[in-house]
């Protein structure tokens, strides 16, 4: 290292706090969630929002964000474990590889993917190799336009009401109501 030049510093995660009033009519789940979510420097706002919505829309006892964050590629971004640590639900974000889905389906009783990608992209990747219990993997596609419309309303502390009802997602932030589709699509 040349003297007189500062040593490069790795960028740290930015912590976002989401106060979510959840009304998931489709699953009969009503909760107030207080989430602290670390946003990795390389993570897009869309991906961050997908993680927050996945947490809320898959909420059940034992759900948690991964401890390793995005840097641990073997761990699910979100998971549900029982009190003994047994992996019950592997929740992935984006467009996971067929290998990753195969391993997840062998390790967990349930696998879900929350994405904003075209379902054809995920199906194409899934067709590249056999996936254990592929027909049981749940894929939820949140309309990308909704995620993009939410971005300007986000702050380090974001309070929002989230309602899922009959395949629609309604999000209210600071008096502004935004809505979009959330579709359950098949992997196969």
- pLDDT recorded at residue 40: 86
81: exposed, middle or buried (Cβ count in 10 Å: 0-12, 13-18, 19+): middle
- pLDDT recorded at residue 72: 62
Q: What b/e readout covers 58-73, taking b as 16+ CB neighbours within 10 angstroms?
A: bbeeebebbeeebeee
Residue 158: both structure tokens together: 């974001």
Q: Is the pLDDT of residue 71 over 80?
A: no
Q: What mean pLDDT is predicted for residues 105-119?
A: 95
Q: Where are the domains of the chain?
A: 14-186
- pLDDT recorded at residue 188: 83
This prediction's pTM? 0.90
Residue keyed to tokens 């390793």: 68
Q: Please measure the distance between the N-terminal and C-terminal CA atoms of the chain and give it in whole angstroms.
A: 53
Fold entry, domain 14-186: Restriction endonuclease-like alpha-beta roll fold (3.10.640)
């Amino acid at each position: 290292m040349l003297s007189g030049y500062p040593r490069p510093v790795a960028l740290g995660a930015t912590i976002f706090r989401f106060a979510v009033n959840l009304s998931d009519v489709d699953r009969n789940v009503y909760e107030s969630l207080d989430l602290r979510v670390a946003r990795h420097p390389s993570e897009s706002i869309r991906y961050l929002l997908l993680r927050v919505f996945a947490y809320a829309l898959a909420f059940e006892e034992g759900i948690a964000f991964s401890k390793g964050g995005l840097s641990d590629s073997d761990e699910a971004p979100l998971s549900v474990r029982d009190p003994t640590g047994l992996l019950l639900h592997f929740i992935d974000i984006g467009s996971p590889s067929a290998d990753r889905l195969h391993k997840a389906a062998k390790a967990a009783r349930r696998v879900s993917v929350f994405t904003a990608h075209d379902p054809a992209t995920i199906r194409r990747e899934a067709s590249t190799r056999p996936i254990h219990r592929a027909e049981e993997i749940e894929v939820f596609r949140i309309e990308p336009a909704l995620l993009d419309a939410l971005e300007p309303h986000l702050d380090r502390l974001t309070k929002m009401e989230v309602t899922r009802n009959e395949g629609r997602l309604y999000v209210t932030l600071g008096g502004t109501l935004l809505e979009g589709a959330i579709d359950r699509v098949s992997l196969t």
